[in-house]
Amino acid sequence: MQTELVKLLFGDFIDCFGHFFENCEQMFINEMVVNMYARTFESGEDIMRPGQHFDEMYFIWQGQVVICEPTTYKEPFCVLPQYSFFGDY
């Protein structure tokens, strides 16, 4: 019953990030999506600062994340598109 409820509530999310969840056990998926904390960041807002360590994982549900060179912040060197994730390393 838990899996059916998770699929009903979070099925679109799980499908969009299928490349992350494809080899995971169903109980892990259920536990992960139920315990996620959703946040919205404004354009130009820092998610992380240079030298800061990841202690969370981020899934990009809408929009994109731009990664800039840590000393100038001017020119992006990587853009993570919608349905990407980071913080898994």
Task: Say how far apart CA 63 and CA 39 lie, in whole Å.
Answer: 13
In whole angstroms, what is the distance from residue 26 CA to residue 29 CA?
5
Indicate whether 30 and 52 sit together in one domain. Answer: no
Same domain, 50 and 87: yes
A 10 A CB-CB count for 47 gives 14
Provide the residue-wise pLDDT of the chain in tens; the chain has 89 residues: 899 999 999 999 999 999 999 999 999 999 999 999 999 999 888 888 777 888 889 999 999 998 887 776 677 888 999 999 988 76
Q: Same domain, yes or no, for 71 and 58?
A: yes
pTM of the model: 0.80
Residues 50 and 25 in one domain: no
Q: Calculate ∠ Cα 84-39-32, nearest 5°.
A: 65
SS3 category, 23 = coil
**Residue 67 belongs to domain spanning:** 40-89
How many structural domains are present in the chain? 2
For the chain, the first-to-last Cα distance in angstroms comes to 32
Within a 10 A sphere around the Cβ of 70, how many other Cβ atoms? 10
